[in-house]
Structure 1
Amino acid sequence: MKYVVKLYFECDGIVDKPDVIGAIFGQTENLFGEEFDLRELQDKGRLGRISVDMDTKGGKSKGIIEIPSNLDRIETALIASMVESVEKIGPYNAKFELREIQDIRAEKLKKIIDRAKEILTNWSKEKTLDIKEVLNEISNAVKIGEISEYGPERLPAGPDVLTDPNLIIVEGRADIINLLRYGYRNTVAVEGASGKIPESVVELSKQKRTVIAFLDGDHGGDLILKELLNANTKIDFVARAPVGREVEELTGKEITKALSNMMPLTQYLKRQQETQTTEALLRQAPAEENAQMATTTVTTIVQPKEVQIQIPASAIEEIKKLPGTLEGIMFDENWNPIEKIQVRDIIPKLEAAEENKVAYIIFDGVITQRLLELASEKKVKLLVGVRIGGITKSLDNVKILTISDILTSY
């Protein structure tokens, strides 16, 4: 958030905090259209949670209201003015008065500058580290994360491979080293498997509560999984590096994302089978049709029924660019882009659109109940957002997914 709007209020009666917040929402609704509806702005992350600090005395209520804002200066000033216009809380007359709009960034910069001055002042007073102490500290850190060996095959492993109730199985020594770098110590490598999974890994997997196969994002990863299953290795989840990448080269964030997107083994195998079926159909089509049918199959698990959506590779490339932009794209029936728009403009644009004109909407925002119902009215087939908000009622004619669902499948 960039700003905090602080207002003082007085009320000629005793009220509770929910009454104050309800009055703000109710008496500002549709003053400046849906674009400045406070609930919509909160759903989109443009306004934060409204906080109320109040007390009652002499039969009256008074206190301070704080509204965090990620809008620009003009829009934030308009929000402050809207809240000042509130005249009643419940049945009682009330008065709201702006005290200040705090620029959080300015406060942060001031703290940074003050801290920099403090660091500079104390710099000369700091004890110069002895080079031997530095070398000893580095040496001890390396020993803590030192790679170990497991089983008669002397397989590369993390130091907690025996003690941790969970296990991560990877392909090689370089994968173990990279995972150790980011704190993953319950690991063992099959060393390429060479057509046969070491028996010690098979037996170890049966002793663990949860076993994750963390594989490279290439054909080699597919082969390792096949060999693990052929050897009757216990596998609960499958995690994959991004397509064309190897576990040994991933950053800490990429490792965390890959593991958070892991799938139960049965679901993963089902997804693979569906993908292979699609690829077989593509191979049977003429070359010209192959170019048009280069798609990915996404199976949504948030709907009452599983529905397969075909998304062209050209659209996937556009979707990859959306996270972090606060933008969205509207597509027609044939996945041709209609318009790229700001997330906050999606609802008004969709309201103005003709029925059946927009078939798919992908955007860097939250799918809300209101957007879902509007999409249903306009015959939109698919909504894809960063996350799904408080959906209280699903609609069969509109499918909803997250961007991560699509990118993970692709």
Structure 2
Amino acid sequence: MKSRPYRAQFIAYVLAMMADNIEHVISYWVVFQKFHSPALAGFAVLSHWLPFLFFSVAVGGLADRFDPRRIIQCGMLLFIVASAGWGVFFITDTLEMWHAMLLLVIHGCAGVLWQTPNQLLLYDIVGPADLPSAVRMNATARYLGILVGPAVGGVIMLALGSSHGIILNTVFYLPMLLWLFWAPTRSKDAAPRRIPVRGLADIVQTIRDIATRRVLTSMTLLAALTSFMIGNAYHAQMPGFAGDLGHGDPGVAYSVLLAADAAGALLAGIALEAWGRLKVTPRTAIVLAILWSLSLLAFASAGIYTLAIVLLFAAGFFELSFNTMAQTLVQINAPTDIRGRVVGLFNMAGLGMRAFSGITVGLLGAAIGIHWSLGLSAVALLAFLLVLHRRAAKHG
């Protein structure tokens, strides 16, 4: 935080993440009330994360070759289009299911244009020495946005209603959009990156490039497993969990459950940054992921609202801890000339594979119930993580 460019980036990032989550809170709630469709909630997960699966490596390649700031700005513009689109349909009361699906896809495309280039920009701003701290702080900013988003979204809905509130939300994307015109980027004496972007061939080649690097492969595999089996699909199902727990007003219960998950992650960011003694290793990251899956298994089984809040708080704590550790290890160990592609591959695994959690937790939840689907997914993930931990221990 001593770096002025990083402070500016941090503030803009918090506001953009807050806007992202205000949109989620308002749109998910209105869509749930209008359609009452677990399948549409599952589609919300698919549409949000499939762009990361298909395009993360390609966007990383573009960020290797071109100015990452301009790519992020394209993402900010798409976020503004999505929020404004929701507002128009809410105001005119013409929202149909296909409208919701289209806006969810636009929102997902905006995210993929933001995340990988932003991670590369972060590396350029602070350098490798301060990168672990910067990654943790940015992850803390992400969860601060998740924590503040529901509260701000609730206030906006009470004051302006969902229609005008989500249009106002577009303003919160502007600081990031405008700051990027003056944001610093890689040094001018850095070697130009002119590797062409080749789509699927880039994914295959990047996998080959990291195949002999155990840290990169283990962390990418960790990201893929946690995202494929659970990801954040339970967030889209949170209105259903809130209703099943039956504690007072479902809308308030829904916001509190989301806030508990975010508050746990926020505490993790502050605690890890202040303590600074948790060794950044693949084995530590895997252990933290195991604790995360155990917390969600217990949450899926909980029938007491207060206990559910505590378990989600713990889940948020462990999720930020293992995700930031894995991301730091990937960025530090990625070869310089293909850093964008390697980070893109990690995001493809860690974010893109969340699309399939829309099946394991979302669509399966429509068939057997959201508690069973989350619980069974957590059990399967635990089995895979134990195998991954044994493999990491074997190789030291």
Q: Work out whether the TM-score is over 0.5.
A: no
**Larger helix proportion of the pair:** 2
Which has the greater radius of gyration?
Answer: 1
> Please, what TM-score do these two structures have when normalized by structure 1?
0.17
**Larger strand proportion of the pair:** 1
**Which structure's relative contact order is higher, taking Cα pairs within 8 Å and 6+ residues apart?**
2
